[in-house]
Amino acid sequence: MAMKDKITQQSILLFQEKGFNQTSIQDIVRAIEVTKGTFYYYFSSKEQLLMDIHDDYITHLLSRQERIISKTNMTQKEKLTEIIRLLIMDIADKGPSARVFFREVRHLTDENIETISQKREKFRLHIEKIVQEGINQGELRKELRADMISFGILGVTNWSYNWYKPDGEVSAEELIKIYSDMILTGIAT
């Protein structure tokens, strides 16, 4: 593993465990047994490191979401289920990164928060577009508001980082099915 990746991975673990503010650069370099000079060779500051973590996380999510969207052989409902899968699997597979992404964004500079917010908004707008196409094609109910549904999908799935334990009694696939059924079918009999 490249040194920059080692620093990033160790930082994610420390930020998850102690929080961004409570983690010093000294903590990071001590954990991987390198000097502060090594840290500063790759990152100008702890905040720049946090920005890299955020930018990598959302950029990878967006590119995988765009691959789902581009599939012409899927219904809009199937695309929504795949996006739910994408978000839950990311929390299951990259739990520490997901927690740092959602919890520590407030420590970025205003400019960096704006950059990340624009990418997050793009992700949400993609969901909104899928919902709207589902409405237009008669797959989803006509009276739905695509904007509110997209916020709801993200609220339900993204909040899972707070409590979901992949090694707990509910598997990631079960959770994906539960969320997809709830979102696409509802919970009334």
What does the pLDDT look like over 137-150, one tens digit per residue?
999 999 999 999 99
Position 118 in a domain: yes
Examine the domain organization and report whether 39 and 97 are in the same domain.
Answer: no
Residue 52 scores a pLDDT above 90: yes
Position 168 in a domain: yes
Examine the domain organization and report whether 77 and 38 are in the same domain.
Answer: no
Provide the CB-side half-sphere exposure for 103 (13 A, CA).
19
Q: Which domain range does residue 144 map to?
A: 45-184
Examine the domain organization and report whether 147 and 104 are in the same domain.
Answer: yes
Task: Specify the number of domains making up the chain.
Answer: 2
Alpha helices in 24-171 (DSSP H): 25-32, 36-42, 46-69, 76-93, 95-103, 110-136, 146-158
Q: What does the DSSP 8-state code read for residue 153? A: H
Position 33 in a domain: yes
Residues 6 or more apart in contact with residue 94 via CB below 8 angstroms: 57
Examine the domain organization and report whether 51 and 101 are in the same domain.
Answer: yes
Decide if 49 contacts 43 (C-beta within 8 A). yes
DSSP collapsed to 3 states, 89-131: HHHHHCHHHHHHHHHCHHHCCHHHHHHHHHHHHHHHHHHHHHH
10 Å CB burial of residue 58 (0-12, 13-18, 19+) is buried
Higher-confidence residue of 188 and 176: namely 176
CATH code where residue 145 lies = 1.10.357.10
CA-based nearest residue to 57, from 161, 150, 152, 153? 161
What does the pLDDT look like over 65-75, one tens digit per residue?
999 999 999 99
CATH code where residue 38 lies = 1.10.10.60
Examine the domain organization and report whether 29 and 78 are in the same domain.
Answer: no
What does the pLDDT look like over 69-97, one tens digit per residue?
999 999 999 999 999 999 999 999 988 99
Examine the domain organization and report whether 101 and 114 are in the same domain.
Answer: yes
